[in-house]
Structure 1
Amino acid sequence: MAFARTCSVALLGVDGVVVEVQADLEPGIAAFSLVGLADKALLEARDRVRAAVVNSGEKWPQRKLTVGLTPASVPKSGSGYDLSSIHLGRL
């Protein structure tokens, strides 16, 4: 089992809110779950993150990967969290 975290920023108007990106890798059926009030564009990060990890020469983990974005009360949108998720996807 592996756990890691890093930070990103959500924009609310002209204000920035620090968002903690947490990843947990557990035994189980290979899956990528993204939780924490993500919009449709952010849910597509699953494909972008997997492609980036594989194309960087790393192996995609054949385990259950859960990426949580906190605080969950802050709306998150766009691809600005991909870099944090890619870093964590290389657990």
Structure 2
Amino acid sequence: MSEVRKHIVFHGRVQGVGFRYTAKYLAQSLGLTGWVANEWDGTVSMEIQGREALINKLLVGLNHGQFITIEWMDTKEIPLKEEHGFKVKG
């Protein structure tokens, strides 16, 4: 299966609710790479790379967070990068 890389901006109650660390845990458990960061406008940005089915599993897992409320996501596919691991930024 081929890999994809996506840039996703999450809107809703996504800051101050453990979103970034939940994303990191899920990404690591699924073998995905990339990063996640809080933005000044209250959104959270993420670049995530791996098999599409595994990225979708991560998104489902984030939606099941107790305090996380994702209202909508802006998603675009971007070029693959050579990287290792998943980081929490800012």
TM-score scaled by length of structure 1: 0.32
TM-score scaled by length of structure 2: 0.32
Bigger Rg, which one? 1
Greater RCO, CA 8 A, separation 6+: 2
